[in-house]
Structure 1
Amino acid sequence: MFYASAAMPNHYTAMGAVGAVGLFLRSRQSPVTCAGVVGGLALATLMRPNDGVALGVPLLAAALLVPTWRSRSRVLAVLGGLGAGALPWIVEAYARFGGVRARLTAASEVQGDLRPLLSLVHHLTVMDGPLLCRPCDGDTVRPLSAEWWLVLPLLVSAGLWSVRAGNRDTRREHQGGLPRPGTTPLRACLLATVAALSVALPYLALVPYAAPRFLAPTHALLTPAAALGVLALVDVTRASHRPRIGLTALGLALAGHLAVQLPLAHTNAGIQAGARGDWALVAEVLHEHGVGGGPHTDRSPRSGTHPPCVLRGNTSVIPVAYVAGCFPGRAGDAPRRPTALVLREAEPPPWARSWPRHRVPDTYAPGWVVHVRP
């Protein structure tokens, strides 16, 4: 939930993924259920096309190959969700980039040249910050902060073990008769786990940097199995010869986990609050020099005494422009079009070096400077 209030796609991708997988697993596929699968996959694909495809592949394979889930409605729902989410992306690819291949090439360049690699160490590094590790060469892994990467697989494994044991008990109960067909808890957890790993694989094997939010859909899909793992550990502990000792150990483990994670969350929340405060301070300086006038709507800045303004810069252009009531400049814009440049620890380009320069005081991150076009 750390990213839920941010204008980033990963939280919405995670919610769409959980909804799509959960509804896919329902034994009876009604029109409403199929519509939910379409909607969840469409949301995930619209937000992150690569995540949507990685999620759709195991679902489509399950709908085609696994007898329990083999049905025309599931296949059509998965294909419909992928198509509905990918269509706007494809249209934009031809409208702005000249085609799908050109857009994929441009995306690879922006992401630092996607290629086969192993970035697991980078994902271990970002567990204690920075929230965007790009590049990650100057940071190191703190084993204590990376304990989540050890705890989560253990809990998922315990959850799978517990539902497998439950399946064995069910088969014993049905000896002499056939069990009712349908989605068993084991099959459901296995498919969710496979889908989670499928979504994580591109980030671990292709992207040369890391951020915790990249794996939000993976964590969301693994949560049910991990929760079952927690319940299984509690049940095993209660059934042991010394349940008090076992429950105390589990309580200490939970306290240790919170002791590691809560300070990290508090620290990173403070960093984000400071960064957002800087945007407001930059906007104040812009307003003092006649640029902007308040946050804008989806179509145009709020009405005021100043005409619409355009900002460009080297960092955080979109949020600063929103707070200032301006439009963010695009890479293809003419170089002299922006009303102002917002730079941090950077010199202006040659065509803007004569523009009036205004420092932004009292910022959380130093080095903010505004250059206003005369």
Structure 2
Amino acid sequence: MTTPAAPAAPTVPAAASSARAAARRRASALACVSLAYGLVQVAAVVPWLGLGWDESVYVSQTDPHHPAAYFSAPRSRGVSYLTAPVTWLTNDPHAVHLWLALLSAAALYAAFAVWRPLLGTARCALAAALFASLWTALLYGPQAMPNLWVALGTVTATGWLLRGAAASGRGGGERASGGRSGPGGAPAVRVRGGAGRDAGVRGGALALRGPLTASARWAWCGVALAVAGVTLLRFPDGCWLALPLGLACLAHRPLRRPAPMAALAGGLVAGAVPWIVEAYGRWGGIGARLRVSSDVQGEMGLRWAGGDAWRSVNGPLLCRPCDIDPYQPWLTWWWLLLPVLALACAVRARRGRGAVMWLPLACAVALSLPYLLALGYSAPRFFLPTYALLALPLAATALDVARGRRPYVLALCAVLALYGASQVTGFWRTLMGARHTTHRYETVAARLNKAGIRPPCLLTGAQVPPIAYAAGCASGNLAGNNKNLTPTTLRTHTSRIPVAAITAADAGPPAYARGWRPMPLPGTGLRAWVARRD
């Protein structure tokens, strides 16, 4: 009787090819999340929205066809650079939003893909899904606002810093965790051989398997570019991000070298240059601009704003003053649970996960501090960078705990379903509110154009930046945070071009507009006062 021959072992090329195919299939999960994120924006946000107040300010800075709106001290120029490729061709709000929707979907993929060698594809895909399914991330993805882009920049910067640490630590057997060990003495972050494999968790320690997709030198370039981008988008957020990253360079052994510190400092300085130059050109220095910024934002100082943040979790888009009752407070459970989950991730990091867990947690805390402890108002978008960073350790911990345990898998699915339901509710409500607001701006602008207020023209008064941009007019005010006119300048304009002041429907004319012709704007809650031209 002949013994059947044992099946031949797969050859090395065949095994490597199979591993690469499996890696491609796993990588498609993150691509699917990013594609879905872009499609939801294109289908549910782009067709509905015009430009909001802040959007019209940012977009007008690079629009050669319209006058630029007043650019106040707290703003940074990064968003204007993002929209410039479109605004040079057209000022159609839908074109601007479509461009940003596609760009944000690509940026979501690029930001979380940086973490694939550190966490593995499944964890990165879940983290990206947790962040992308937030109603704030969906609503602001196609909008010309800085917070979402800051969020993706912080994810990118922290990921490249950790990849640079791992690439540095693998030479000579140096531990990338800075000496911290997991259970059984295993290093918290270590590199193993085997090409084409994703990161995995064994014995409570994160093992980075296989060669990195970029050397440490390229990782430091990634850090510099990401930090520069964040700082260019929002100067204060760039400084708050640099704080924990700088401390990591001092505390984490693989980062205690000149290259990562130089990359961090160089990125911060490069991104801050436009802000600093403008500070000296328009306000007389950095200190003066910071003081003006504080005044515009309601005199920033040490105060607890966590209550304001909680009340505005489900909207309104800007809570100033935030003396409202929270909308459907039972839907804010996920927000109240975040500190508990973050603490659980921090405990798990102490048990062996190392810098891959604690660095995004530290950055998330740092970026939330000014909005929890300094501002006297709140907006849901302020915390987008914190949510993006927290999504990474939360996704990793959730999958680690649920792996191979059916009850935990079912519990995780239930929690994710409840989370999704709460976000859908918030998304639809705020989308309809934003649609109503931007439609009102466009309606007022169209009626002003029809009444003869056409370019070149000037609008002053309440809510004028978005209305003026939609009408093709310049905007200006004699008082307030957007003051950029004097009474003499205004009188000169009224003798040369059409000028109108916008007020509430039940308000009288401003002092400078007494004697101007009233123009009702029914259905908008506003009224125009048109200057008489002799």
> Does residue 203 in structure 1 map to residue 371 in structure 2?
yes
Gaps of 5+ in 2: 1-136, 168-214, 477-481
Check conservation: 1:160, 1:186, Cα contact below 8 A: no
Q: TM-score, normalised by structure 1?
A: 0.82
Matches within 5 A, 1:224-263: 224-235=392-403, 238-239=404-405, 243=406, 246-263=408-425
**Map of 1:1-374 to 2, 5 A cutoff?**
1=137, 2-26=139-163, 27-28=166-167, 30-140=216-326, 143-160=329-346, 167=352, 185-235=353-403, 238-239=404-405, 243=406, 246-292=408-454, 306=455, 308-315=456-463, 317-329=464-476, 331-335=483-487, 336=490, 337=493, 339-345=499-505, 346-363=507-524, 367-374=525-532
Deviation at 1:359, TM superposition (A): 2.0
Q: Decide whether aligned partners of structure 1 residues 138 and 156 sit closer, same or farther in structure 2, where only a CA change above 3 A counts.
A: closer
CA–CA distance in structure 2, aligned partners of residues 79 and 31 of structure 1: 15
Between the aligned partners of 2:227 and 2:323, the Cα distance in structure 1 is: 35
Q: Cα gap change, 1:72/1:326 in structure 2, threshold over 3 Å: closer, same or farther? A: same
Map Cα deviations across residues 153-210 of structure 1 (whole Å, 9 max, x no partner).
Answer: 3444454555666x4xxxxxxxxxxxxxxxxx53122011101101111111111111
C-alpha displacement of 1:23: 0.9
Contact 2:311 2:324 in 1 (8 A): no
> With CA pairs under 8 Å and 6+ residues apart, which has the higher RCO, 1 or 2?
2
Give a deviation string over 1:59-82, Cα, whole Å, max 9, x none: 112113321221211111111111
Q: Secondary structure at the match of 2:460?
A: strand
- Determine helix, strand or coil for the equivalent of 1:146: helix
Mapped to 2, the partners of 1:86 and 1:322 lie a distance apart of 28
User: Quick one: distance in 1 between partners of 2:256 and 2:423?
Assistant: 41
* 3-state SS in 1 of match to 2:502: strand
The alignment's TM-score, normalised by the length of structure 2, stands at 0.58
Q: 1:356 corresponds to which letter in structure 2?
A: R
The sequence identity of aligned pairs, in percent, is 36
Q: Deviations over 1:21-72 (max 9, x none)?
A: 1111113364432222122111211221111101001111211332122121
Given that 2:468 and 2:474 are in contact with CA atoms closer than 8 Å, whether structure 1 keeps it comes out as: yes
Tell me, in whole angstroms, the C-alpha distance in 1 between the residues paired with 2:376 and 2:410: 41
Deviation by residue 1:207-257 (Cα, 9 ceiling, x = unmatched): 11111111111111111111113213422xx43xxx3x5544433333332
Q: Is the 8 A contact 1:9 1:47 kept in 2?
A: yes
Shift of 1:284: 0.8
Question: Would you say the 8 A contact 2:315–2:430 is kept in 1?
Answer: yes
Q: Separation in 2 of the partners of 1:192 and 1:136?
A: 29
Match of 1:176 in 2: none
Contact 1:155 1:229 in 2 (8 A): no
Residues 34 and 260 of structure 1: CA distance in aligned 2, closer, same or farther (over 3 Å): same
Return 323-332 or 148-157, whichever deviates more.
Answer: 148-157
Aligned-partner Cα distance in 2 for 1:52–1:266: 31
- Tell whether the 8 Å contact from 1:144 to 1:260 is kept in structure 2 after alignment: no
Q: Contact between 1:114 and 1:206, CA under 8 Å: does it hold in 2?
A: yes
Look up the SS of the partner of 1:145 in the other structure.
Answer: helix
Which region of structure 1 is more displaced relative to structure 2, 323-332 or 98-107? 323-332
Once the two structures are superposed, residues 124-159 of structure 1 have per-residue CA deviations (whole angstroms, 9 ceiling, x without a partner) of: 100122121111123347541321223333444454
1:16/1:39 contact within 8 Å kept: no
Do the aligned partners of residues 73 and 246 (structure 1) sit closer, same or farther apart at CA in structure 2, a change above 3 Å counting? closer
Distance 1:110 1:141 in 2: 27
Residue 189 of structure 2 corresponds to none
- Judge conservation of contact 1:133–1:210 (CA < 8 Å) in 2: yes
Deviations 1:266-301 (A, max 9, x none): 101100011111111011111112223xxxxxxxxx
Query: In 2, Cα distance between the equivalents of 1:69 and 1:230?
Result: 28
Counterpart-to-counterpart distance in 1, 2:250 and 2:325: 44
Aligned to 1:298: none
**1:263 partner letter:** T
Confirm or deny: 8 A CA contact 1:196 1:217 kept in the other structure.
Answer: yes
What amino acid maps onto 2:522 in structure 1?
Answer: P
Asked whether the equivalents of residues 518 and 528 of structure 2 are also in contact (C-alpha less than 8 Å), the reply is yes
* Matched residue count: 332
